[in-house]
Structure 1
Amino acid sequence: MTPRLASAVLVAALIRRAQAEGGFGAVLAKGDATAGAVAVILAERGRKAAFLERMLQPDGGYAWRDSGEGLDSDAAYDDLLARRRRVDPDLWAVELDVASAERFAAEMNAIG
């Protein structure tokens, strides 16, 4: 089983990666610094494009999964995030605005 990266470190790495590519990131809600789950709203030019959650895989590793397929408005993304935070108050919520949300999402699995 692969050791788990602390949530606060993962969030910082995601924000730095977005900034390194000319984008920006913001923490919408802080969770448990060590073991909190992480949800990422990816945006492209201010328009929300994906709601990604880090999920445990059968092999013990982690992968990002898009839980926001079919969401068509900012309010729908906000509602999904609010529901997730009600169930898990230790959830980290991060919004990243990047040049290519689809490419960035594909590369996120390399971070953890």
Structure 2
Amino acid sequence: MEPRLATSVLVSALVRRAEAEGGFAAVLAKGDSTAGAVLVVLTEKGANPVVYERMLQPSGDYEWASAGPQVCGKAEEVPALIARRRRSDPDLWVLELDIPSTERFAAGMNGFG
């Protein structure tokens, strides 16, 4: 079994990458620093949110997947999704990243692990 990156390190890397690309990053909720799950809300100029979650795959690797297609682009539904997820998993980290190109950023997130 390969060692896994601590969640706090992953979160820090995502925040730094967003800021390096000219975006803004905010940690909305902190979870377990070692093994907490991560939910990322990507927006572009504060609009059209897309929610991704880091999911453990059967292979043992993590991949980012859309966490709520029902909220894609619907900003008013994102807080309810976050609240539901936090109720069932209090160790969940929630990030909001407002970046110039959400599609490009999301495509590169699988490099973070």
The answer to whether the superposition gives a TM-score over 0.5 is yes
Query: What SS does the aligned partner of 2:41 have?
Result: strand
2:9 maps to 1:21? no
Deviation, structure 1 residue 75: 2.1
Following superposition, the deviation at residue 7 of structure 1 comes to 0.7
Name the CA shift for 1:6/1:50 in 2 (closer, same or farther; >3 Å): same
Q: Partner of 1:7 in structure 2?
A: 7
Equivalent residue letter for 2:69: E
- Asked if 1:93 corresponds to 2:94, the answer is yes
Residue 34 of structure 1 is matched in structure 2 by 34
Q: Can you list the C-alpha shifts for 1:46-72, whole angstroms capped at 9, x where unaligned? A: 114211000011111000001121324
Structure 1 consecutive aligned stretches of length 4 or more whose deviation exceeds 2 Å: none
Q: TM-score, normalised by structure 2?
A: 0.94
1:89 to partner: Cα distance: 0.4
Q: TM-score, normalised by structure 1?
A: 0.94
Contact 1:22 1:99 in 2 (8 A): yes
Q: Return the alpha-carbon distance in structure 1 between the equivalents of residues 51 and 3 of structure 2.
A: 24
Equivalent position of 2:69 in the other structure: 69
Change (3 A) 1:2 1:48: farther
Q: What residue identity is the alignment partner of 2:77?
A: A
Structure 1 residue 8: Cα displacement = 0.6
Structure 1 residues 48, 6: closer, same or farther in 2, change over 3 A?
A: farther
- Report sequence identity in percent: 60
